């Protein structure tokens, strides 16, 4: 019906998709308000973002919180109440917040404040809210922001890449001068993992492996809320490793990618997709891993845990909750985690404490897996003494899977993880996944930039006058052009170089140009 701000351009295809994704797509008898989220592929070519921050945010934010380039997130607040004045006898409306940022907690909290007011007062309410949001500071990683909206101040810290993984959020400090007291969000994005994973706690290891390997997976849930929370929980369980495959927290049969995902002529794509329409049981039967969950209810004891079942047991109607897969885990189950969570349930520990336990366990598992890869990757970096000022920096040595496998004998995950199992097999499978590819490219890019930075520093330390003594004009001009190109690249790519280093290189260039004949000087200055 309306879009705010009004100058925000969506293609017709995007509008249609957002409309379908903003409502439950199978009958939901539940009345009242529900919230869920979706993720949508951008249609119709790249668009400039209204936020020009030269990529600083993405450089400083944790990988999993980077601004998306080709997808939007949609955060939905849906209301369904009986209303005899409506043709269908119901009032059904959704307010959707669209963003490239995966701040599920912040945006759902914002919708809880705005949506009830909007359903009551309509357009003027949105205009007022947008004016307030326009005044908000940009999200700067590492900063705590106070965000005023509708008489409330939401206080939240934007995580940074330099935060220590697993450390609890920094305690908010600047509250004393805020009146009314702010609404403090413990995290912009972290879900209550314990609540989300309730029915599958004993299979957490298997689900972690499936995510690590980027396996295609369907989550069949009774509502968009359960579906989107489960998909987001699954994709977050590799932190701090980035989940590099596609994921759709909520997906409907009207989606433009529906044919692409349901075709049987090719293997299912590397994607986790959350669905609620029972029709998908039939169309996605050929997928290798299907997780069927019921309504999430927090109760005083360990909820009924789903069983792992054969895919052939997938009934078209009335499919019981379970993980339908023939996957055999590489690692053995960790009984201690379940025991600790059970103890927590018996002692009535709050859900956030249980979630912290679970998150810590997953973090340690991921770190045990990734640290050997990090060590091996670091060994491919050329030695610092091989970097000389007047030659191009040496290349990073190629990643050799067999060499890496050999290194595991004395520096493998067994050093930090008690879990037994076929770690080698798990690494071999991981090498074929998009998550390895994404991790490797990111690391390689960082190492290349580090080499460039070291090279610039080496140039700064060099005696340029001595070098020029026996050089021809052609060689000197060539050096000027190369140094200029390096400077431009260092500034464009924001290389990890001190500003004074860049200024010294700039000074060098001027010194060299000053030593050349005037006609050449004029050309180079031009």
pTM of the model: 0.89
Can you read off the two tokens belonging to residue 128? 């007022």
Domain ranges within the chain, ordered by starting residue: 12-185, 192-448, 463-525
Place 301 in a pLDDT band, splitting at 50, 70 and 90.
Answer: low
Return the HEC string of 411-475: HCHHHCCCCCECHHHHHHHHCCCHHHHHHHHHHHHHHHHHHHHHHHHHHHHCCHHHHHCCCCHHH
Between 508 and 196, residue with greater pLDDT: 196
Distances in Å between the alpha carbon of 499 and those of 25, 237, 493? 55, 38, 14
In this structure, are residues 204 and 197 in contact, taking their beta carbons and an 8 Å threshold? yes
Distance CA 494, CA 511 (A): 25
Around Cβ 117, how many Cβ atoms within 10 Å?
15
Distance CA 101, CA 86 (A): 36
Task: Provide the 3-class DSSP secondary structure of residue 270.
Answer: coil
pLDDT of residue 54: 61
Q: Quick one: CA torsion of 115, 119, 120, 122, rounded to 10 degrees?
A: 100
Render pLDDT for 392-440 as a digit per residue (tens, 0 to 9): 888 999 999 999 999 988 878 877 787 888 999 999 999 999 999 999 9
Give the count of alpha carbons within 13 A of 467, CB side only.
16
Q: What is the CA radius of gyration of the chain?
A: 27
pLDDT of residue 176: 53
Q: Which residues contact 524 (CB under 8 A, 6 or more apart)?
A: 477, 480, 513, 516
Task: Provide the 3-class DSSP secondary structure of residue 9.
Answer: coil
Main-chain phi, psi angles of 397, to 5 degrees: -65, 150
pLDDT of residue 416: 76
Distance CA 517, CA 487 (A): 24
Where do we find the tokens 């770690």?
A: 423
C-alpha 262, offset from chain centre: 25
What does the mean pLDDT of the chain come to? 87
Task: Provide the 3-class DSSP secondary structure of residue 501.
Answer: helix
Q: DSSP letter for 388, please.
A: -
In this structure, are residues 281 and 220 in contact, taking their beta carbons and an 8 Å threshold? yes
Bridge partners of residue 154, in order along the sequence: 147, 183
In the CATH scheme, what is the homologous superfamily, with its name and number, of domain 192-448? Answer: DENN domain, C-terminal lobe (3.40.50.11500)
Q: DSSP letter for 496, please.
A: S
142 burial via Cβ count (<10 Å: 0-12, 13-18, 19+): middle
Q: DSSP letter for 394, please.
A: P
Place 95 in a pLDDT band, splitting at 50, 70 and 90.
Answer: very high
In this structure, are residues 287 and 269 in contact, taking their beta carbons and an 8 Å threshold? no
**Average pLDDT over every residue of 458-469:** 80
322 burial via Cβ count (<10 Å: 0-12, 13-18, 19+): buried
Between 35 and 488, residue with greater pLDDT: 35
Distance CA 144, CA 27 (A): 41
Render pLDDT for 138-157 as a digit per residue (tens, 0 to 9): 999 999 999 999 989 999 99
In this structure, are residues 138 and 57 in contact, taking their beta carbons and an 8 Å threshold? yes
Q: DSSP letter for 331, please.
A: B
Q: Which residues contact 212 (CB under 8 A, 6 or more apart)?
A: 238, 241, 366, 369, 426, 430, 433, 435
Helix (H) or strand (E) holding 128: helix 123-134
Render pLDDT for 316-350 as a digit per residue (tens, 0 to 9): 656 788 899 999 999 998 888 889 988 998 898 99
**CA-closest candidate to residue 257, choices 23, 41, 36:** 41
**Average pLDDT over every residue of 220-232:** 94
Task: Provide the 3-class DSSP secondary structure of residue 77.
Answer: strand
In this structure, are residues 249 and 226 in contact, taking their beta carbons and an 8 Å threshold? no
Helix (H) or strand (E) holding 147: strand 144-149
Q: Which residues contact 154 (CB under 8 A, 6 or more apart)?
A: 106, 109, 110, 146, 147, 148, 182, 183, 185
Distance CA 212, CA 446 (A): 22
Find the length of the chain. 526
pLDDT of residue 145: 93
Distance CA 386, CA 454 (A): 11
Task: Provide the 3-class DSSP secondary structure of residue 297.
Answer: coil
Q: Beta strands 246-248 and 308-309: pairing type?
A: unpaired
């Amino acid at each position: 019906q309306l879009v705010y701000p009004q100058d925000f351009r969506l293609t017709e295809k995007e509008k249609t998709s957002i409309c379908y994704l903003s409502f439950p797509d199978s009958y939901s008898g539940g009345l009242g308000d529900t919230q869920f989220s979706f993720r949508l592929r951008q249609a119709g070519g790249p668009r400039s973002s209204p936020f020009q921050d030269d990529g600083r945010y993405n450089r400083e934010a944790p990988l999993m919180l980077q601004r998306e380039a080709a997808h939007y997130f949609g955060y939905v607040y849906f209301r369904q109440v009986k209303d005899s004045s409506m043709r269908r006898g119901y009032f059904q409306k959704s307010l959707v917040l669209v963003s490239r940022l995966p701040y599920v907690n912040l945006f759902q909290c914002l919708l809880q404040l705005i949506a009830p007011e909007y359903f009551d007062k309509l357009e003027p309410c949105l205009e007022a809210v947008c004016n307030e949001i326009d005044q908000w500071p940009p999200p700067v990683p590492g900063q705590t922001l106070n965000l005023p909206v509708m008489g409330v101040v939401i206080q939240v810290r934007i995580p940074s890449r330099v935060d220590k993984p697993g450390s609890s959020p920094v305690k908010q400090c600047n509250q004393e001068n805020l009146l009314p007291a702010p609404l403090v969000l413990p995290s912009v994005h972290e879900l209550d993992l314990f609540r989300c994973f309730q029915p599958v706690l004993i299979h957490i290891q298997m689900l972690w492996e499936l995510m690590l390997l980027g396996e295609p997976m369907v989550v069949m849930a009774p509502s968009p809320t359960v579906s989107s929370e489960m998909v987001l929980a699954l994709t977050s369980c590799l932190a701090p490793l980035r989940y590099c495959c596609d994921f759709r927290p909520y997906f409907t049969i009207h989606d433009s990618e529906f044919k692409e995902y349901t075709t049987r002529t090719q293997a299912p794509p590397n994607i986790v997709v959350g669905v609620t329409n029972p029709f998908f049981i039939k169309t996605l039967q050929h997928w290798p891993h299907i997780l069927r969950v019921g309504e999430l209810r927090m109760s005083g004891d360990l909820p009924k845990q789903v069983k792992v079942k054969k895919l052939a047991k997938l009934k078209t109607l009335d499919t019981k909750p379970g993980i339908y897969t023939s996957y055999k885990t590489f690692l053995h189950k960790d009984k201690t985690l379940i025991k600790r969570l059970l103890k927590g349930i018996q002692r009535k520990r709050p859900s956030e404490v249980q979630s912290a336990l679970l998150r810590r366990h997953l973090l340690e598992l991921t770190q045990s897996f990734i640290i050997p890869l990090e060590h091996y990757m670091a060994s491919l970096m050329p030695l610092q003494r091989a970097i000389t000022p007047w030659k191009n920096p040496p290349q990073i040595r190629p990643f050799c899977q067999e060499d890496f496998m050999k290194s595991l004998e004395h520096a493998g995950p067994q050093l930090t993880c008690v879990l037994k199992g076929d770690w080698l097999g798990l690494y071999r499978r991981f090498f074929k996944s998009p998550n390895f590819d994404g991790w490797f490219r990111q690391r390689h890019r960082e190492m290349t930039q580090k080499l460039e930075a070291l090279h610039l520093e080496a140039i700064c330390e060099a005696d340029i006058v001595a070098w020029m003594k026996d050089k021809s004009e052609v060689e000197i001009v060539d050096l000027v052009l190369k140094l200029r190109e390096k400077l431009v690249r260092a500034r464009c790519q924001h290389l990890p170089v001190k500003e004074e280093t860049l200024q010294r290189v700039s000074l060098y260039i001027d010194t060299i140009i000053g030593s050349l004949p005037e006609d050449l000087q004029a050309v180079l200055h031009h």
